[in-house]
Amino acid sequence: MGIHIPHPRKWNHKHIILATLTGTLVVITMAAIISIILSPAHISLSIAKPTKVSKADQEDTRYNFTLVAQHRSPHMAVVYGALSAEIWYSETAWVPAAVVDWSPLKDGTTRQKPTNIEFSAEYWQSEQRSTPPTASSSSSSDETDWSNCTVLVTATVWFRYRSWISTRSYDVRANCSPVNFVNGTGGTCM
């Protein structure tokens, strides 16, 4: 009677573990490459041309500024969703600002060029005065200090890679200061 020698298996335990580890490493590498390619671009924001427009016969004053948004990613385009701003003229008081012209964002994406977005805020003197003026306080129509304001910008953005792959939405908040509406100097945002 002959000795029976079992047929050697093609895959033993060492081969199965090695193949599993190699497959896992390949999947992790692919996920890392996709994550790096689809990482959001750095957006830099700044405030330009802050102006104060008041009419002598009306109680309201308009504060206008341009938000300059720019990113330097050669592969990604930025899609802006909700976009709003607030002008903080003191520690506790602010005025909401609205987008005046959506045409720079109309195509849905912005590339590397700077995008200028016009904002405007309306300030009503009679509604903002919480206490009656005293003899020591200023009796002029503009009692607030508009020379050292902070503009808070809030936006929802998506990043698109080659117009067909989009990232998740990101909520961006930028604090731009100091913004001087009296002499028209803007500030950079952080």
Note down pLDDT in tens along the chain; length 190 residues.
677 776 666 777 888 899 999 999 999 999 998 877 767 677 888 888 888 887 766 667 788 888 888 877 777 778 888 888 888 888 888 888 888 877 777 665 566 567 778 888 877 654 444 443 333 444 344 456 777 888 888 888 888 777 677 778 888 888 888 888 888 777 777 7
Look at residue 59 and tell me if it is in a domain: yes
What is the Rg, in whole angstroms, of the alpha carbon atoms belonging to the chain?
29
Which residues form the domain of 64? 42-126+145-179
Look at residue 7 and tell me if it is in a domain: no
Q: What dihedral angle (degrees, nearest 10) is formed by the CA atoms of 165, 169, 171, 174? A: 10
Q: Could you give the CA distance from residue 122 to residue 116 in angstroms, rounded to a whole number?
A: 20
Tokens of 33: 């490459």
Distance of CA 155 to the CA centre of its chain: 5
Domain tally, the chain: 1
Q: Provide the whole-model pTM.
A: 0.67
Look at residue 167 and tell me if it is in a domain: yes
Using alpha carbons, select from 68, 61, 55 the residue that is nearest to residue 151: 68
Look at residue 77 and tell me if it is in a domain: yes
Contact criterion met (CB below 8 Å) for 80 and 45: no
Look at residue 99 and tell me if it is in a domain: yes
Look at residue 19 and tell me if it is in a domain: no
Q: Could you give the CA distance from residue 180 to residue 38 in angstroms, rounded to a whole number?
A: 37
